[in-house]
Amino acid sequence: MTKKLIALLLVLVMTLSVMTACSKGDDGKSSTTPSSTPAADAPATSGDESSGDAGDAGKDAGGLPPMTTDNITLTYACWGLAEKGEIEVRDKQLAAFMEAYPNIKVEFVEIEQGSWDEALYNRAAAGTLPDVFWVFSVTNAVKNQWALDVTDMFDADPDTQEIYPGIREISKINGRRYHVPGIMFPHMIFLNKTLFDKYNVPLPSYDWTFEDFKKIAEEITHPEEYYFGTSNPIYYDLMDAWYNGTTRYGWDGQNYNLGQTWVDAWNLRLDWIDRKVVEWMSAEEKEQVLGDPSAWPPGKGRVAMHIDWPWTIAHFEDVVSPETGCEFLYYPLPQGPTGRQMAIVDNSVISATTQHPREAWELQKWTTWGVEACKNRFEGYKEAGAPLSRMPVITNKEVWQQIIDAAPNEALKAFYEHLTDIVPSPWPIAPGWGEFEAWMAEQDMWGKLERREVRPEDVVKELNDKLNEFKQQYIDSIDY
């Protein structure tokens, strides 16, 4: 069955469902009226409220058709199981789903993360794609006709309104939805308190701005002693969200808008490298100072404010802090005027060949982005004694309060509290991204920028035109 036919049949089923519900106006339970209760309290999505009746479990899901009561089997694949806590998370999520829907059996599909895309190509050719599976590139999944168009289900499910607004706005391809964001890795600052104490620099407020960050970085850097204000200068990843509310390259869900913000981000990067505000040690310097030409200076206590992600906390706690004697605080990212920040987002899709799109939607919700998925992820990490690294992509207060209450210190609590609105990493979802990156590599454009052979302000218009050219080529190539 083709992707288009499945999508058309799903629309027909949803339409008939709504018509049937409207005809039952006397009992006041028309499914055309979305629930006004928070997602955490909605009977349709709460495993705690389930009586075990598969028919009841899907009744109040807004405009979605009811779940089947037939005995069926769904298949599911995700990555990351080598990370501490992820097996426990998966097992809890699948068990909760099957308890809520006892007529549905879920089989987990084992795929090696290192050969993920190759395995998907092979499974697509054999007609054995999982019903729900994670993807590194949504645009590739759409181009290969692996991903079902889920726009109608997304719009019909009121719980999707709890997904961060910035993620909802930008997660479309030519106005349609082929994936749902599942989890996120926000950026954070690994603040070396020991260096702040060493140089008598006051700790910043948790409500700090990027301007505060820049001032502190320039004040605390001491390159003559090989101590640096910051590292990982990926300001071109972050500044579009801070100042424009978009994601990298100014992608807003429809067009690229590479402009002055990108120019400013690159010029700041180059200036700080030249002035040694940012750590940029050569192999020779690392050999001389750290005794290892491949040493990682942030992990040697040489950086005051390192930009990284939650998955690195365990390494700092278990290795870096004991080895260096440094005390680290895990700070919220400094804020820009929009209040938004970019996070790395992992995404999943429903197979275009699934025989059970409605049920696959619910499985996707219970294993990635929904309230129950988030609660069981939290419990899985807790059971494994692992720090929470994969964050919810929803704003549900109950879900976040659970995480905030479990934070071991005020800095980490503030980090969670400052995740007020998120825009997604664009490389998995922005049309033409991969083609543009390949073109940039062919032109050695990144090398030319780093070597100061070209100035950002001199190439920004050409690059923006190229981005939108590749975007349009991608859209024109897709059989929607």
- Per-residue pLDDT tens digits for 134-174: 999 999 999 999 999 999 999 999 999 999 999 999 999 99
User: For residue 53, what pLDDT is reported?
Assistant: 35
Mean pLDDT score of the chain: 89
DSSP 421: -
User: For residue 54, what pLDDT is reported?
Assistant: 37
3-state secondary structure of 332: strand
Percent of the chain with pLDDT strictly greater than 70: 87
Which of 50-54, 111-115, 246-250 shows the lowest mean pLDDT across its residues?
Answer: 50-54
Q: Tell me how far apart the terminal alpha carbons of the chain are, to the nearest angstrom.
A: 15
5-56 pLDDT, tens per residue?
Answer: 444 444 444 444 433 334 333 333 333 322 332 333 332 333 333 333 333 3
The two tokens of residue 129 are 């794609």
CA-based Rg of the chain, rounded to a whole angstrom?
24
3-state secondary structure of 104: strand
User: For residue 32, what pLDDT is reported?
Assistant: 30
Band of pLDDT at residue 395, cut at 50, 70 and 90: very high
348-389 pLDDT, tens per residue?
Answer: 999 999 999 999 999 999 999 999 999 999 999 999 998 888
Residues 6 or more apart whose Cβ sits within 8 Å of residue 441: none
User: For residue 62, what pLDDT is reported?
Assistant: 62
Residues 6 or more apart whose Cβ sits within 8 Å of residue 363: 74, 76, 97, 104, 106, 131, 132
Closest by alpha carbon to 362, among 52, 66, 25?
Answer: 66
